[in-house]
């Protein structure tokens, strides 16, 4: 299965497109393109992880290798960057562990 995700990260204006693929509904690989230099470096690190076992990634007993990689590699970037969440959700869809549904975060300035 394949899941496509397009992430507009916010005020930075950068856009990231990721394709998560799974041939066996468990192990997932990523193809990532972006105009953000920080996410470009992260995409190289994610590729270095090889196939990710989606079942292990969502396990409550362990730490996600994908999210740990994002924490380690996203230096000089906003700590609240939405891109890692987009990657994680795409992985779940590619493995058949979630249905494809948009994630929406709406921001409004408080009065």
- pLDDT value at residue 47: 95
Q: pLDDT by residue for the chain (111 residues), tens digit each?
A: 999 999 998 888 999 999 999 999 999 999 999 999 999 999 999 999 999 999 999 987 778 999 999 999 988 777 788 999 999 999 999 999 999 999 888 888 887
The burial class, CB within 10 Å (0-12 / 13-18 / 19+), for 89 is buried
Task: Pick one of 2.60.40, 3.90.1010, 1.10.287, 3.40.1350 as the CATH number of 2-94.
Answer: 3.90.1010
How many of the other CB atoms lie within 10 Å of CB of 103? 10
The residue extents of the domains of the chain are 2-94
Question: Alpha helices, DSSP H only, in the chain?
Answer: 37-48, 54-58, 65-73, 83-94
pLDDT for 62 = 73
User: Residue 2 forms beta bridges with which residues?
Assistant: 21
In 3D space, the residue among 24, 19, 17 whose CA is nearest the CA of residue 55 turns out to be 24
Beta strand spans in the chain (E):
2-8, 15-21, 27-34, 52-53
Residue 47: both structure tokens together: 């590729």
Sign of CA dihedral 35, 5, 86, 25: negative
């Amino acid at each position: 299965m394949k899941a496509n995700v397009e992430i507009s990260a916010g005020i930075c204006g950068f856009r990231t497109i990721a394709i998560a693929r799974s041939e066996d509904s468990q192990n997932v690989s990523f193809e990532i393109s972006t105009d953000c230099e920080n996410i470009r470096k992260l995409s190289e690190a994610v590729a270095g992880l090889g196939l990710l076992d989606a079942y292990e990634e969502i396990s409550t007993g362990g730490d996600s290798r994908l999210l740990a990689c994002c924490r380690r590699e996203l230096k000089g970037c906003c700590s609240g960057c939405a891109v890692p969440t987009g990657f994680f959700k795409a992985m779940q869809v590619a493995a058949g562990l979630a249905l494809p549904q948009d994630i929406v975060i709406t921001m409004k300035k408080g009065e």
